[in-house]
Amino acid sequence: MDAEGPPETPGEVLDFLADVQDRVGSSVPSLVREFLQVGEWRLAVEWVADALADEHAPMTPAECQRLRELARLVDSEHHVERAFARGELGLVEDAT
């Protein structure tokens, strides 16, 4: 299977996952890494978005923007926006 998105996508997904890891289930990081290893980048981004929505995780506006950018890279904007709505994501302000 061909990878989806630009070559830097897996690194960006892992960086984002490291930042939100405390807000997703314990199995999510290993599953996301498995998806990335086999080129399922879109599935990895969708899985992170769904995991955050399942936990109704608080996210800063900057984190929301990063997740939306990842979704754009892998052509999954609609799925990620549904996760935002379902989980009421993005209700926390940036810390200053």
- What is the rounded CA–CA span in Å between residue 52 and residue 30? 15
Residue 36 in domain: yes
Half-sphere exposure of 53 (CA within 13 A, CB side): 17
pLDDT number for residue 13: 96
Rounded Cα distance, 86 and 7, in Å: 30
Instruction: Please give the residue range of the domain that contains residue 31.
Output: 9-87
Rounded to two decimals, the pTM is: 0.87
Does the residue 28 lie in any domain? yes
Asked whether residue 43 is assigned to any structural domain, the reply reads yes
The answer to whether residue 52 is domain-embedded is: yes
What domain count does the chain have?
A: 1
**Spatial CA neighbour of 47 closest among 19, 92, 17:** 17
CA 58, distance to chain mean position in Å, is 13
Q: What is the pLDDT of residues 29-76, one digit of tens each?
A: 999 999 999 999 999 999 999 999 999 999 999 999 999 999 999 999
